């Protein structure tokens, strides 16, 4: 492996660890649930739907709905749910990068040239397309 490439991956890994820690702290601060505000019975939700929908949009926090005192459902506004999906995608990408870096450190990966040659052959794709 090229030394410059290894250094670049090391820098990316360091910055990624910092971003994960900062992202996790920001997420925890931004998304702390208030039990008195964010937990309601399903009956209350049915009765006060408009009020709770305004709360969802205003706070961006999900609401836990209970049935017989037990949490049964989570209701969340679409924008907050989209942010949650995007955060999950970022975390999965970061985990993939970590696995790749660890594989590289163990010298257990394949060179990209060999990988793509095998991949294209397996899929019946011409390498020149």
The CATH number assigned to the domain holding 18 equals 3.40.1620.10
**pTM of this prediction exceeds 0.75:** no
Q: Is the pLDDT of residue 64 over 70?
A: yes
Chain centroid, CA 56 distance in Å: 21
Domain count, the chain: 1
Whether residue 26 lies inside any domain: the answer is yes
**Predicted pLDDT of residue 1:** 46
65-115 pLDDT, tens digit each:
999 999 999 999 999 899 999 999 999 999 999 998 888 888 887 888 888
**Domain-embedded: residue 66:** yes
Q: Considering the domain boundaries, does residue 73 fall inside one?
A: yes
* Domain interval for residue 99: 3-123
Given a contact cutoff of 8 angstroms between Cβ atoms, the answer to whether 1 and 104 are in contact is yes
CA 4 remoteness from chain centre: 30
Tell me if 8 is assigned to some domain: yes
Q: Which two tokens stand for residue 44?
A: 């209350």
């Amino acid at each position: 492996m090229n030394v410059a490439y290894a250094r670049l991956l090391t820098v990316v890994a360091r910055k990624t660890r910092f971003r994960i820690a900062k992202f996790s702290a920001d997420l925890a601060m931004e998304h702390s649930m208030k039990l008195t505000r964010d937990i309601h019975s399903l009956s209350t939700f049915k009765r006060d739907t408009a009020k709770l929908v305004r709360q969802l949009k205003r706070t961006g926090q999900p609401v836990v709905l209970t049935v017989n005192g037990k949490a049964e459902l989570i209701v969340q506004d679409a924008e907050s749910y989209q942010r949650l999906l995007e955060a999950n995608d970022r975390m999965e990408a970061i985990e993939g990068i970590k696995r790749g870096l660890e594989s590289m450190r163990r010298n257990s990966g394949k060179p990209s040239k060999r990988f793509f040659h095998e991949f294209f052959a397996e899929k019946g794709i011409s390498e020149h397309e």
